[in-house]
Structure 1
Amino acid sequence: MEYIKSLRLLFFSLFLFVSLSGYAQKTVVTGKVTDANSGDPVPFANIVFKGTSVGTTTDFEGNYRLETNEPTDSIAASYIGYITKTKAVKKGTSQTINYQLEENVLSLQEVVFVAGENPAFEILRNVVRNKDNNNKRSLDAYEYETYTKIEIDVDNISEKFRKRKIMKKITTVLDSVERIAGEDGKPVLPVFISESLSEYYYRNNPKLQHEKIQKTKITGVGIEDGTLVSQFIGSSFQEYNFYQNWLNIVGKEFVSPIADGWKLYYDYDLTDSAYVGDDYCYRLDFYPKSEQDLAFKGTMWITKREYALKQIDATVSSTANLNYVEKIKIQQELAPTDAGPWIPVKNRVLLDIGEVTKDMAGVLAKFYTSNKNIKVNTPQDLKFYAQPIEVAEDFKIGNDNSFWDSHRHEPLTPTELSVYKMIDTLKNIPVVKTYTEILKVAINGYKKVGKFDVGPYLSLYANNTVEGHRFQIGARTNIDFSDKFVFGGRVAYGTEDQEFKYRGFAEMIVDRDRWTLLRAEYTKDIDQVGLSADDLLDNYIFLAATKFGNLIRPYKYHQAKMSFQREVFKGLTQKASFQYRTFDPLYNFAYYTNPDQADSPIADEFQTSELILETRFAKDEVFVQNDNQRISLGTQKWPIVTLRYTRGLKGVMNSDFNYNKLGVNITKNMKMGFFGTSSFSITGEHIFETLPYPLLKAHIGNESLFYTSAAFNLMNFSEFASDSYAYLKYNHHFEGFLLNRIPLMKKLKWRLLATANVIYGQLREENQALIPEFTEDGEVVKPIGSFSKNEPYVEVGYGVENILKVLRVDFLHRLNYLDNPDVDKFGIKISFQFIL
């Protein structure tokens, strides 16, 4: 018996030894996978112990944990678009192994299926069939708390760039950058980081949205924590919905890999099926059919049960027809709501802007959003959505470190904590401050000096045939002076006419919620018939250019104006103005004061007093407030319609005429997906009374070499005037629709465009008879041209833009009125533009 007991004890000891040995030999590895270029996490990467079947994938933050009892000496990390990296493992211990994966610059191989239908196609058909069930925009309403983090860095810091004079002065910061980059990472120089916490609301019928930005924290070189920046760092500008056929990114339309017409744009590969969290999913890899198209390549996971998008990693590479953009990467994780449709809970976006020249560095912009506390199908009242973006009055108060530590959805990484310190150091370096101020002036046109902005610098100097050398200086108050009142003015002097010109204004912001302004101004200056500054306010560069060279039909004027503007309700703005103006011509001009009288007196100047009523309707227009200004970001879907009625008041302030004018303008930008983008402007006006032609519509011509959308580009200055007219201006940008398909040509990234300008107008005989004809070189000359009855003026054009990334060339044809003196029936005009 003792022998048996001893034998049992021996076996038990051996069993315990083997068990403990097996436990002691378990290998546990945790770590994080990041992009070597950007430092961002790489979610969904594959992590595998070499020589085993044990593996896992990283989560959305790039973290992983893996353990095994099997013998192994290394662990590998891999992901589509990256070079696989393998590292050694210490057996039988717990350890941390981080990876910094480098992008694989080799093109992905085409997906080829030998026989039968691609198995991915049936999955995609089911995704499209179930869009209404899974798309968040099918909900009556949804709302959530959103946390947004943005970081902007300078990357591709070469040795040559580091040796530049300005960079030598920030060596301390660069040394910190090197340390943070890590063993395999590439250093980036942070220049901006922000965090915001907001509440986002969406309503489906009618489609309305509202974001209330509660708190912001902004640190950046040359950036202040103002209301404008706080509005742009909210989630409203970082929303990407792949259930839509087209996604608008950096102003361009990109086709979604689950668009209704997916088969036209993409190739697919069904590569795997596995559980992602609690959902069994298909893994689909997708690739654009044409590498120049604005389309994505990447990976997405589709749930087997709902055919819903669970996760997606989509990249636009430098081969796409974009300027300056090296890469756009969007990573998204979605979760189902109680009602069924899925809402993104985490988003990460990377925008990599390449070097403009070899001597410059690039820019990385990184965006992260997290959504929680999601509620659905509880829409707010319509008036709740009146202001799409609102910043809380106390958005700067109480947002210290303790607040953010308790309200961030995800804690900051050690690298991000260091970024705050580096930016604070960087922005206090004197040379950086100097360059920052220069850049601000270049962008804004004004130099901030305490409570005043001095400028605009584009109008500091001009030279023309009337004034000679024109020098001008101006200033306006800013929000540091007052958030309710704005005062400003300018003074100009001409060396040839030796006269001062000036302008002054005062503005009161009565209400910011329903934007309401009261404004008074007085101006003494010179202008040109048909090139009125009021008509060119939206084309400031062309307006500044009209002050140079030979002035056509110039005149001096005094103008006093008062206006009141109020947003009656969202989308509808009403404006009322009273304006007094004089007309003192500096060219050969006269008109009959009583044309019905045979020997009518002739006058060569006049005065007008006008009451102007304007109604502007833009149903889904989005605005942001920049201190004391409100900036329109355009409409999403609907056109902008403006109605204007003008009443001339004879006798008021010695005004010479009674008259009525009625006009309408409709403008619309249209996104046409694969075929590019279009825009049109339709304008019409009727003037009921008989008036001298400076009070009619002298249509804007363009006799310069440069193309402008503000004019009819093959029409001469003051060639036509109308008392009734309607015109259409149409532009279409094909993007890469045609040239992307032509071998060799597609590498140039040129883009075709087309234009058409049509105007139908008339000038009644009584208006023509009001102006005396004059003789020039023995011939009778009409003072102003007019259109023939029932014949519109037409010019059409085609052209190429994006030549060398900045040049646009238009080839224009004038189709009629070719017998008019000194006209061109064909013209080539150029322009310079900065476009992506």
Structure 2
Amino acid sequence: MYRISIVIGLWMSAIAVFGQTTVSGVVTDAETKEPLPFVNVFYEGTTVGSVTDADGAYVIHTPNLENVNLHFSFLGYKTVIRKIRPGETQELNVKMAPDAKILDEVTVTSGNQRERYRNKNNPAVDLVREMISHKKENRMESYNFAEYEEYEKLQMSLSNMSDKFKDRKIFRKYKWLFENVDTTTIPGKALLPIYLQETLSDRYYRRTPEKNIAVTKAHQKVSFDDYIDNAGLSTYLNYLYSDIDIYDNNTVLLTNQFLSPIADSAPTFYKFYITDTLKNVTPNLVELVFVPRDAGGFLFQGKLYVTLDTHYAVQKVEMTVNKNINLNWVRELHIDQDFVQTPSGRFQVVKSRMQCDFGLSKGGGGLYGERVVSYKNFVIDKPREPKFYESDSKLTLTDSEKHNDGFWLSNRHDSLSVAESKVYQNIDSLQKLPSFKRTMDIATLLLAGYKGFGWWELGPVNTFYSFNPVEGFRLRVGGRTTPKFNERLYFETYGAYGFKDEKWKYFLSATYSFTGKSIWQFPVHTLRASFQRDTKIPGQELQFVQEDNFLLSFKRGVNDKWLYNDIWNIDYLHEFDSHFSYRLGFKNWKQIPAGGLKYEIRADDTVTEIQQVTTSEFSLELRWAPGEQFYQGKAYRIPIPNRYPIVTARFIGGVKGLLGGEYNYQSVALNVFKRFYLSQFGYTDVVAEGGYVFGQVPFPLLNIHRANQTYSYQLQSYNLMNFLEFVSDKYVSVNFDHYFNGFIFNKIPLFKKLKWREVATFKLLYGSIRRENDPNYNAQTFAFPTNSDGVTTTYSLAAQPYMECSVGIANIFKLIRVDMVKRLSYLDHPTISSWGIRARFKFDF
């Protein structure tokens, strides 16, 4: 939801109608009536243009232009020129006649039908196969050693804002800001820069053993420290605008994986055409056009310029995506790369530019983003001392953020536009305006759930009201201090009252930061002490959501087994730059059954009711998440998945007699998360987990498996399992969650138009309880809970595994995922649901 807050929050401020000229149509062969792909369409005397797609269709959006002509040109055909009516949306279909002079040199086949496209005996495909076979020698990895300087510029701008939008009352105090509009960088777009970051780095590469080192020498960016996580925003934008390596089989771009036109399997998914040969350059080049066979797949279309020498290397890339692609919010996407020849004869990328125009509609205002990366000062196969390569992979010089304008003017690879050069000062001035601060405070309250009041902030608002069977109507209010109170010491608290049980609940914590920075700023190094008196559903663990969130108050079935808890906690957390962390903790927990939950020992025909259970336990958690990236929200970190696993190991030891602790026990658990990218078939998130409890303990201290009785779909819970339905002292589980990204729906016309995407899941849980912990064999331990009719509602998993699966539709209205979930085992348990419909918000590009 915080990612939605960042992106959609900006978009909402940019939506407006802007007068512009829109021309669209289809270009066909005048004789055969067949559509003509790859026709160049451009305005006379400008660089504004487009290329027809595989169906001969094109569309061009531009500001109002006067007295302009639109040119249509294509090799082998006569150029067509048409007059355009400025300020209108118009359809212009064009028929192009073959040029007889050029056709004299072409072999003409009989018949009016175009020859069916084939890979076999296709010179374009043969060329691609040569490129594929030479990929290894053309990559950076072909060098034993390499080093170079890298400059990166990432900017975001509001685009095509109308005068009506700028004249709104809310913006009247910011007229000076709108004077910084750039109309020259991208012909046809009026851009107002709102974010800019620049990074200058030295890069070092060694092939054996492989090592990549990045040393950041200089860095500067627009800062919104009071409102968002700057480091997280920078990380997320870099994730959206990932590095493009044309020689990689797949590239993760805008959170999706795209197949390269020279991937090993490219001839299966692309069509290739040789459209020109350039013999006036050395080495000679071939212009190779490529288009996707499936116009809705995550594939590129565009041109490659390929060297006709022994290397078959890429000299230039110009590519975009098909207008029919199942990609959200993106109106236009362009990628350009330039390569130069090194003394070794190989071509090395020297500049990469990615441009993306986001918007809620095809026309009107939106958000424009651009990432430019350039490289120079290449040094090839000149190794440094072996000790040099033992340093960390990412290093930042201490003075990297202290360079003045003169330094950047001398060292940035490309000059900034006039508008870009003013963005640092403009945004800094904007944040000092009281009216802007008030606006951002309201936005932060609505989107992040907190309202700031200087040294403290109120929230989260979605917990202010909720209800449940034990407390009835529940009101809660809370807050926490900010770095303006103290940069090392943080306090957090809330108070809540239930009108049915007429009891007060409260929480208080104090956190000390050893780094002297925010307790949320990576890497975290903190000590926290807290006390909580509140209610809880046994075994429920939620991700990124407060348990008393209003929307989670709505639950299916009987939900009356709760706990009152008094929990003292001491927690020490130490994170490292390598994304390894450890957490040491001590917890004293008094739990009192509430509602329909009772702790009873049923032995010798007598029932002994236990009023409460108290435990004291020490814990150790080890976590390793190589290359992990995330956005730090107001309450949670929002992870950005990558190709590396996340491994978490937990160890807990209960001590009898310590501060009232009643049991000796130990437990271990291991959790592994991994995302597997499957190119055009989507990706699969796999979570494997196992745990074991040592010692004799009652069922409240066993593993209570994560159930879900709400109507929201929860990824890490069992969505048709009842609360407290299954407990184990040893278990293993595996969850598969696969996103097809429209691989199937893109072939169904209606679904393709709606841009729906298919998902499927399967979850399996196997476990058991040793006889010493099972009340069916040991009458001295707590009996399993029953319902109002005396029927047992808590079970062991010894007989068979619990299984459930689901199929669903994601990307409904670009935000909603709906799953039909089916429970596959233990269908004879009372009050269970064998199937159900669940939904969740999921923001994707």
- TM-score in terms of structure 1 length: 0.78
1:805 to 795, 814, 829: 814
- Given that residues 462 and 550 in structure 2 are in contact (C-alpha distance below 8 angstroms), is that contact kept between their aligned partners in structure 1? no
TM-superposed deviation, 1:752: 1.1
Q: Could you tell me which of 214, 217, 220 is aligned with 1:217?
A: 220
Q: CA–CA distance in 2 between the matches of 1:675 and 1:604?
A: 54
Equivalent residue in structure 2 for 1:446, among 446, 450, 465: 450
2:100: which partner in 1? none
| Residue 363 in structure 1 maps to residue 367 in structure 2 | yes
Matched, 1:352 2:322: no
Q: Which residue does the alignment assign to 1:784?
A: 794
Question: What's the secondary structure of 2:628's corresponding residue?
Answer: strand
Stretch moving more, 801-810 or 249-258: 801-810
Partner letter of residue 554 of structure 1? Answer: W
2: CA distance, partners of 1:209 / 1:478: 38
Distance 1:489 1:368, change over 3 A: same
Residues 246 and 139 of structure 1, relative CA distance in 2, 3 Å threshold = same
Note the C-alpha offset of 1:129.
Answer: 0.8
Question: How do 1:421-440 residues align onto structure 2 when only pairs under 5 Å count?
Answer: 423=427, 431-440=435-444
Deviation at residue 238 of structure 1 after TM alignment:
4.2
Deviation at 1:124, TM superposition (A): 1.0
Higher CA-based Rg: 1
**1:183 & 1:655 partners in 2: Cα distance?**
69
Aligned partners of 1:341, 1:611: CA distance in 2, in Å? 59
- Give the Cα separation in 1 of the matches to 2:360 and 2:418: 28
Q: Which piece of structure 1 moves more, 280-289 or 433-442? A: 433-442
Cα-Cα RMSD = 4.1
Match of 2:24 in 1: none
CA contact (8 A) 1:349 1:368 kept: yes
How far apart are the structure 1 equivalents of 2:213 and 2:608? 62
1:379-398 to structure 2, matched below 5 A, reads 389-397=394-402
Return the match for 1:822 from 827, 831, 843. 831
Change (3 A) 1:658 1:592: farther
- Alignment correspondent of 2:197: 194
C-alpha deviations, 1:627-661, integer Å up to 9, x for none? 99996855643322222221111111110000121
| Corresponding residue number in structure 2 for 1:715 | 721
Alignment correspondent of 2:773 = 767
- The aligned residue for residue 583 of structure 1 is 591
Distance 1:468 1:127, change over 3 A: same
CA distance in 2, matches of 1:413, 1:768: 72
1:135-174 equivalences in 2 (<5 Å): 135-158=139-162, 161-162=165-166, 164-167=168-171, 170-171=174-175, 173-174=177-178
Do the aligned partners of residues 223 and 195 (structure 1) sit closer, same or farther apart at CA in structure 2, a change above 3 Å counting? farther
Residue 308 (structure 2) aligns with? 304
Q: Using the alignment, how far apart are the partners of 1:422 and 1:401 within structure 2?
A: 15
Offset of 1:292 from its aligned partner?
A: 0.8
Shift of 1:780: 3.5
Q: Classify the secondary structure of the residue corresponding to 1:166.
A: helix
Tell me the alpha carbon deviations over residues 768-807 of structure 1, each in whole angstroms, 9 at most, x when there is no partner.
Answer: 3222478866x543362333x3411111111111122222
Amino acid at match of 1:723: D
Residue 476 of structure 1, CA deviation: 3.8
Aligned AA (2:275): T
> Given that residues 529 and 570 in structure 2 are in contact (C-alpha distance below 8 angstroms), is that contact kept between their aligned partners in structure 1?
yes
* Secondary structure of the structure 1 residue equivalent to 2:749: coil
1:267 maps to 271
Corresponding letter in the other structure for 2:791: V
**2:615 is matched with which residue?**
608
Gaps (5+ residues) in structure 1? 1-36, 40-73, 88-100
The 1:396/1:183 distance shift into structure 2, 3 A limit, reads closer
1:687 aligned to 2:693? yes
Q: What do the CA deviations read for 1:3-47 (whole angstroms, capped 9, x no partner)?
A: xxxxxxxxxxxxxxxxxxxxxxxxxxxxxxxxxx9x9xxxxxxxx
Distance (Å, rounded) in 2 between the aligned partners of 1:137 and 1:712: 44
The 3-state SS of whatever aligns with 2:589 is strand
Q: Is 2:533 aligned against 1:525?
A: yes
CA distances 1:98-126 after superposition (whole Å, capped 9, x unpaired)? xxx99999999999678983322222111
The SS at the match of 2:773 is: helix
Q: What secondary structure does 1:711 align onto?
A: coil
In structure 1, the residue matched to 2:413 is: 409
In structure 2, which of residues 336, 340, 346 is the aligned counterpart of residue 335 of structure 1? 340
CA distance in 1, matches of 2:239, 2:707: 43
- 1:637-676 to 2 correspondences below 5 Å: 637-676=643-682
Any idea what SS the aligned residue of 1:416 has? helix
> Alpha carbons of 1:608 and 1:158: their partners in 2 closer, same or farther (altered >3 Å)?
same
Q: CA deviation at 1:562?
A: 2.3
Return the alpha-carbon distance in structure 2 between the equivalents of residues 393 and 130 of structure 1. Answer: 41
Distance in 2 (CA, whole Å) between partners of 1:799 and 1:114 is 35
1:752 aligns with 758
Instruction: Please tell me whether the aligned partners of residues 479 and 627 of structure 1 are also in contact (alpha carbons under 8 angstroms).
Output: no
Q: In the alignment, is the contact (CA less than 8 A) between 1:798 and 1:812 conserved in 2?
A: yes
CA distance in 2, matches of 1:234, 1:748: 28
Give the conservation status (yes or no) of the 8 Å contact 1:464–1:547.
Answer: no
1:71 corresponds to: none
- Letter matched to residue 785 of structure 1: Y
Equivalences for residues 54-93 of structure 1 within 5 A: 81=51
Asked if 1 retains the 8 angstrom alpha-carbon contact of 2:201 and 2:218, the reply is: yes
Return the alpha-carbon distance in structure 2 between the equivalents of residues 379 and 472 of structure 1: 61
Give the letter for the 1:522 counterpart.
S
Residue aligning to 2:296: 292
**Alpha-carbon shift at residue 449 of structure 1 (Å):** 4.0
Give the superposition deviation at 1:720.
Answer: 1.6
Q: Which is bigger in relative contact order (C-alpha 8 A, separation at least 6)?
A: 2
Q: Which region of structure 1 is more displaced relative to structure 2, 308-317 or 635-644? A: 635-644
Q: CA deviation at 1:546?
A: 8.1
Displacement after TM superposition at 1:435 (Å): 3.2
Distance 2:350 2:185 in 1: 30
1:526 alignment partner, SS class: strand
In the alignment, what sits opposite 2:3? none
Please say if residues 146 and 235 of structure 1, whose CA atoms lie closer than 8 Å, have aligned partners that are also in contact. Answer: no
Over 3 Å counting, the alpha-carbon distance change for 1:248 and 1:609 in structure 2 is same
Does structure 2 retain, via aligned residues, the 8 Å contact 1:739–1:751? yes
Q: Distance in 1 between matches of 2:268 and 2:793?
A: 58
Q: Which residue of 2 aligns with 1:13?
A: none
| Inter-CA distance 511–193: structure 2 relative to 1 (3 Å threshold) | closer
Shift of 1:392: 3.9
Match of 2:581 in 1: 573
Aligned partner of 1:257 in structure 2 is 261
Cα offset, 1:375, TM superposition: 3.4
- Which residue in the other structure is 1:49 paired with? none
Distance 1:199 1:249 in 2: 24
Higher mean Cα deviation, 286-295 or 152-161? 152-161
Deviates more, 1:667-676 or 1:202-211: 202-211
The change in CA–CA distance for 1:187 and 1:747 in structure 2 (over 3 A counts) is same
1:126 aligns with 2:130: yes
Q: Which residue of 1 aligns with 2:40?
A: none
Residue 204 of structure 1 and its aligned partner are, at CA, apart by: 4.8
Query: Could you say which residue in structure 1 is the equivalent of 2:63?
Result: none
1:756 is displaced (CA, Å) by 0.7
Q: CA deviation at 1:335?
A: 3.0
Deviation at 1:352, TM superposition (A): 0.9
- Return the alpha-carbon distance in structure 2 between the equivalents of residues 333 and 276 of structure 1: 18
Q: Per-residue CA shift, 1:421-477, capped at 9, x if unaligned?
A: 665666566654443333344454434444444433333332333334434344444
Q: Which residue number in structure 1 is paired with residue 79 of structure 2?
A: none
Structure 1 contact 211–236 (Cα < 8 Å) conserved: no
CA distance in 1, matches of 2:641, 2:229: 27
Distance 1:384 1:470 in 2: 58
**2:284 corresponding residue in structure 1:** 280
- The within-5 A match list for 1:450-461 is 450-461=454-465
